[in-house]
Chain A
Amino acid sequence: MAATTVRMTLESDVRLVDIVHAASETMAHLAGFDEDDALNVGIAVREAVINAIRHGNGSDRAKKVGIVLQATSNTVKARVKDQGPGFDPNATADPTAGDNVLNTSGRGILLIRAFVDRVDFKFREGRGMEVTLVKKRAAAKPKTILAGARP
């Protein structure tokens, strides 16, 4: 299957996040993902876009978030690019450690990393942060053929 691609450019407005989430789930379905994994992709991309809007662009609506979603026969890839000053994704505190569990923010990157196979952060001075998420469809579970069952 040739890759199917969707490109979007959003203002930095969190009310638009649902649009990207829905598109990401659709792309995951095109790549053959089941409902649960499609939702995982949707949540991961959603979190990357929220990060881009809030932490990248500082919720400045004049700054844009660029999104490219790509589906092949078994893989979904998402690129989310902001126009902000960049941030160190490894500098965020582990939200599952000690008292951090009761923090009211800081779980976005945890969710992204949990729900896709690969996450790359690339920052270029003056060009914003670009986050790439990749998830490959899990191998189908082998069908159990019961003795005497009809094919």
Chain B
Amino acid sequence: MKTTVRMVGQVAVVDLSGKITIGEGDVVLRDKIQELLDQGHQKILLNLEKVSYMDSAGIGELVACFKRAREKGGTVKLLRPSGKVEDLLQLTKLWEVFEIFADEPQATASY
């Protein structure tokens, strides 16, 4: 999985592409979010548009990032989950936990 970070105002938008799976994407996601939190970023938006799928480890890491950010007074929100990722968020009921947006300007303005 690949990540790039863009700043939109105070919001760190993390564009993810690939899959968030055990031993690969989950580690990349963990390291990137930790790096952002260590740098003092508290408003993090994960752009999932180009994430093809996640497995249970990837979903677990998404939850871990959400909790880690919250512990530091930050917020992780989600942008444009793709078809399978949306299915997985619904199935696991994380759809009700995360704030999820289809529109980036609306998402960045929501913090």
A39 lies within 8 A of B53 (CB): yes
What DSSP secondary structure best describes chain A's contact surface?
helix
A46 lies within 8 A of B55 (CB): yes
A107 lies within 8 A of B53 (CB): no
Q: How many residues of A contact B (CB 8 A)?
A: 23
Give every chain B residue within 8 A of A95 (Cβ-Cβ). Answer: 92
Q: How many residues of B contact A (CB 8 A)?
A: 23
B84 lies within 8 A of A104 (CB): no
A111 lies within 8 A of B84 (CB): no
* Cβ-based interface call for B36 (8 A): no
Q: Which residue on A lies nearest to B94, using beta carbons?
A: A101
Give every chain B residue within 8 A of A103 (Cβ-Cβ). Answer: 60, 63
Q: Which residue on A lies nearest to B61, using beta carbons?
A: A104
Q: Give the residues from 38 to 71 in chain A that come closer than 8 angstroms, CB to CB, to chain B.
A: 39, 43, 46-47, 50
A39 lies within 8 A of B55 (CB): no
* Cβ-based interface call for A36 (8 A): yes
Task: Give the distance in Å from the alpha carbon of A96 to the alpha carbon of B66 in the complex.
Answer: 17
9 residue pairs A–B, Cβ–Cβ below 8 Å: A14-B22, A14-B23, A36-B83, A50-B57, A96-B92, A101-B93, A102-B66, A104-B60, A107-B60
* Interface, chain A (partner B; CB < 8 A): 14-15, 17-18, 36, 39, 43, 46-47, 50, 95-96, 101-108, 110-111, 114
